[in-house]
């Protein structure tokens, strides 16, 4: 099914043209006074149109969903910058709340425990200690790489 989602338009457009071709052939055959074959071709053309339009719709929906997801991810990453950009004077109350909670989440990531966790994960990954945690002037805890520890 994922193949049809990703390639729905690429498959549907040729089927649409096949349906048009079948309608043209059916019209020519009915003009030549052949009775049964044009009805079969019209049925095949309608079936081709139905499948083609369905595949095109599925392909367009998958592309739209992907684009929508990317936009939401970008918005989620940049929402923490809203308090700094707007200084709480342009956002709606709910927007201010969301921006403040996101800023608090980022501040908690800069806590001593989070810095120690990042250092521990790095130590597990490389097998030895490469830095130490310390507090900046602004109160955030960060990792000082190197120093008495080899990188």
71/9 same-domain check: yes
The pLDDT of residue 42 is 86
In a domain, 89, yes or no: no
Question: Which pLDDT band holds residue 150 (cuts at 50, 70, 90)?
Answer: low
68/126 same-domain check: no
In a domain, 50, yes or no: yes
In a domain, 40, yes or no: yes
126/68 same-domain check: no
pLDDT in tens, 1-57: 577 777 888 888 898 899 889 888 888 888 887 777 788 888 888 899 899 989 899
For residues 82-104, average pLDDT: 66
18/65 same-domain check: yes
The pLDDT of residue 138 is 72
The pLDDT of residue 149 is 67
10/66 same-domain check: yes
Q: Which one of 58, 75, 92 terminates a domain?
A: 75
For residues 99-117, average pLDDT: 74
In a domain, 27, yes or no: yes
In a domain, 9, yes or no: yes
- Domain containing residue 25: 2-75
Which residues touch 129 (CB under 8 Å, ≥6 apart)?
119, 123, 149
The pLDDT of residue 81 is 62
In a domain, 70, yes or no: yes
The pLDDT of residue 109 is 64
- The number of folded domains in the chain is 2
pTM: 0.47
pLDDT in tens, 112-141: 788 888 888 888 888 888 888 887 777 777
In a domain, 150, yes or no: yes
């Amino acid at each position: 099914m994922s193949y049809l989602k990703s390639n729905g338009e690429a498959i549907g457009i040729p089927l649409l043209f096949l349906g048009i071709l079948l309608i043209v052939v059916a019209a020519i055959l009915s003009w030549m006074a052949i009775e049964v074959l044009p009805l079969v071709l019209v049925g095949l053309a309608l079936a081709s149109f139905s499948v083609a339009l369905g595949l095109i719709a599925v392909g367009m929906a998958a592309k739209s969903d992907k684009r929508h997801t990317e936009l939401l991810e970008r918005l989620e990453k940049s929402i923490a910058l809203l308090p700094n950009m707007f200084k709480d004077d342009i956002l709606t109350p709910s927007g201010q709340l969301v921006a403040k909670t996101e800023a608090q989440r980022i501040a908690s990531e800069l806590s001593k425990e989070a810095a120690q966790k990042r250092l521990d994960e790095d130590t597990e990954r490389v097998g030895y200690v490469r830095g130490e945690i310390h507090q900046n002037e602004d109160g955030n805890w960060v990792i000082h790489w190197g120093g008495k520890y080899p990188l």
